[in-house]
Amino acid sequence: MSTQAPAPPSPAPGGPAPAGDVPLFYRRGFRRLLQQGLYVAATALLFWYIYDALNLREFGFGFLNDPAAFKVANQWLIDVDGVTSSRIEMYLVGVWASLRVVFVAILLSTVVGIVVGVSRLSSNWLVARMAMLYVEVFRNTPLLVQVVLVYAIFLVGAPIIQEVLNIGDFAFLSNRGLAIPWPVPDAGWWGAPDWFVGVWVALLIAIGAVAMTVRRQRQVRERETGQPHYANRWAFGIFAVGALVTFIVLGLPVSIDRPYVEGTRYLEGMVIRPEFAALTIGLTLYTGAFNAEIVRGSIQALPRGQTEAANAVGLSAYQRMTLVILPQALRQMIPSITNQYLNVNKNSSLAYAVLYDDLFRVAGIIQNKAGHALEMFFVIIVTYMLISLVISALMNFINARVTRVGV
Amino acid sequence: MPDELSAADIIAESAGPKAVAETDRAPSEEPEQFSPRLANARDMIITEHVDKWFGDFQALDDVSLRIKEEEIVVILGPSGSGKSTYIRCLNRLEEHDAGRIVIDDIELNEDVRALQAIRSEVGMVFQQFNLFPHLSVLSNITLGPQKVRHMPKLEAEALAMQLLERVGIPEQADKFPAQLSGGQQQRVAIARALAMQPKIMLFDEPTSALDPEMIKEVLDVMQELAESGMTMIVVTHEMGFAREVADRLVFFDEGALVEQGTPEHFFTNPREERTKLFLSQIL
């Protein structure tokens, strides 16, 4: 290279050399253009190679509309027969199954995280040590092992269906799952049609809105007058009375369906299957351990002076926690907790290990039957990304709310 | 670790009260010298034979001190001498291990009601300000009155503005602590403590974390407060403040109260060698 390009002229003592004197190859603008040009060319080459090698001329999603011809378990609230249903419908059943696990595991792992995290800071020796033991066990072992272990415990430890454990004729436990009572539409007093349930739910939402408005007003008044206005009690009371009155007026449109065992099957009620339970419990325990560390770390990261100042002002322990410590700790907590929630979403694909028909497993079945692996993986990746982005968006919304200042 | 600590605690607890019982000495070897203006004032703070241990380190060693209503006491001493620990025991940020502490006729003991009562009578200003960073200046001040005293919001805000006027920064009410200078933050902290309408104010090295040019604005506020008749205990190294404002100076060393007296006594004719050495080093 040095033989081709002449040596750059040494800069004039008074300032940079005029542009005309610098050979093209050494000019900064030319270098930038050259680098970007090479990058564009390499990228184009890569994509052309992929297109050519994978024969993407046949890339398309038409196969998803064909009949599925397979069945999945755990199709709660969605009714597909697996014969005439299309593959995309079956896939959506899988997505719905994943969402259920993710939602429940996120909720439970948050509760576990807060309880265990605060317990680790307890001055009670036993409580603190138990919390530490829990965190160290579940943080330092693979999630896959935990999920499979819970599943194995369920299958081996729970009785077989012939010897089902009858919990007061109310719930039944066997290695086919836990059957519990569940609300279903009911004719009630004067033969209410099924859609009365919808009416009741709509009314409940309206009553909830009223209760929240009253709560808000009473909070404002409490702040303005300094006198206690029991906002939460009022809101709860309004909702409870409203729910009861509308329930009676609509003629009891909902009844509780109690499960029973017939032969080797559960009938009616709601069955929490071992696969769902194992995956949810595994995710909860594992993520709960990480959440606990985040909660503990965020509280410990606050300067001691904050606690002392709150004490010196005369706040009670509860006021200190809710008005001074948590508002500041939550700011630190939420970004890390969000990461854990995204991990719950991604780790839910371990459903594969316990044969729970989540989106990844259903997608695998579709791909087995129809081929189109590339398209299927494209769909899977986009689905997980969408769920993650929704979780992130919700958490950003919550973050903006909890960090908003107001006394 | 906890085992070692608890062993030391046991020794401390068994040694502490016994030592007091055996010696049974007077509150101070030297008679307390009250300023003539306080001749008829009642006792606001009584501490008798107070001991405090951190593990096997004795932070306070048989400290006895009476402080009158409206008295201004400045506590001097080298770092680690127990002067901060002493005032932190007065509103129970630290728990004393032996001896008696009585604040405004309320004994500081296991009774949580006594603790609540004392905390709302004693205001405290910290070296590091310790303002609540997530609250505005105004909310920092109104938090205590609203939540502890159940004062209506408007009334609390009026009080807060009045106090901000008093410390000279009403225009900063809607800012956040991080937007203020150190001196301004410390003045907000003073206003926050005053908002609880305390009978006693404790100052724990209030100017030690400040840039030199901001020290005066805080000391001016403290001087005005002293002149208004507040009972004040101030831990500080500001000798000018001690000389001009204090009724009495108290010198701590190695956890013990070594010497006390009027500013005149201290700056002209200190009795103890340790006091002389300390004063020669900082004057």
Q: How far apart (Å, rounded) are the C-alpha atoms in residues B125 and B202?
A: 6
Nearest CA in chain B to A324: B132
* Shortest Cα–Cα distance, B22 to chain A (Å): 34
User: pLDDT for A104-119, tens place per residue?
Assistant: 999 999 999 989 998 8
Query: How many beta-carbon contacts under 8 Å exist across A and B?
Result: 89
* A405 token code pair: 């200042």
Q: How far apart (Å, rounded) are the C-alpha atoms in residues A19 and B70?
A: 80
Contact call for residues B187 and B218 (beta carbons, < 8 A): yes
Contact across the interface for B193 and A312, Cβ inside 8 Å: yes
Which ranges constitute the DSSP H helices of B175-258? Answer: 182-194, 212-227, 239-245
* Shortest Cα–Cα distance, B125 to chain A (Å): 8
pTM of the model: 0.73
User: pLDDT for B16-35, tens place per residue?
Assistant: 444 444 444 444 455 567 77
Number of H helices, E strands in chain B: 10, 10
* Non-local CB neighbours of B173 within 8 Å, separated by 6+ positions: B136, B137, B138, B160, B161, B164
Phi-psi region of B118 (alpha: psi -120 to 50; beta: other; left: phi over 0): alpha
ipTM passes above 0.90: no
Which of B84, B126, B134 is the mutation pick for testing A, counting most A CBs within 10 A? B134
Do the strands B106-107 and A265-267 form a parallel or antiparallel pair, or are they unpaired? unpaired
For residue A224, list chain B residues with Cβ-Cβ distance below 8 A.
152-154
Contact across the interface for A407 and B142, Cβ inside 8 Å: yes
Eight-class DSSP state of A281: H
Nearest CA in chain B to A306: B130
Each residue's pLDDT expressed in tens, for chain B with a length of 283 residues: 444 444 444 444 444 444 444 444 444 455 567 777 887 888 999 999 999 999 999 999 999 999 999 999 999 999 889 999 999 999 899 999 999 999 999 998 888 888 888 888 899 999 999 999 989 999 999 999 999 998 888 899 999 999 999 999 999 999 999 999 999 999 999 999 999 999 999 999 999 999 988 999 999 999 999 999 999 999 999 999 999 999 999 999 999 999 999 998 888 888 899 999 998 888 7
Nearest to B148 among A313, A328, A407 (CB): A313
* B14 token code pair: 């068994």
Do the strands A265-267 and B57-68 form a parallel or antiparallel pair, or are they unpaired? unpaired
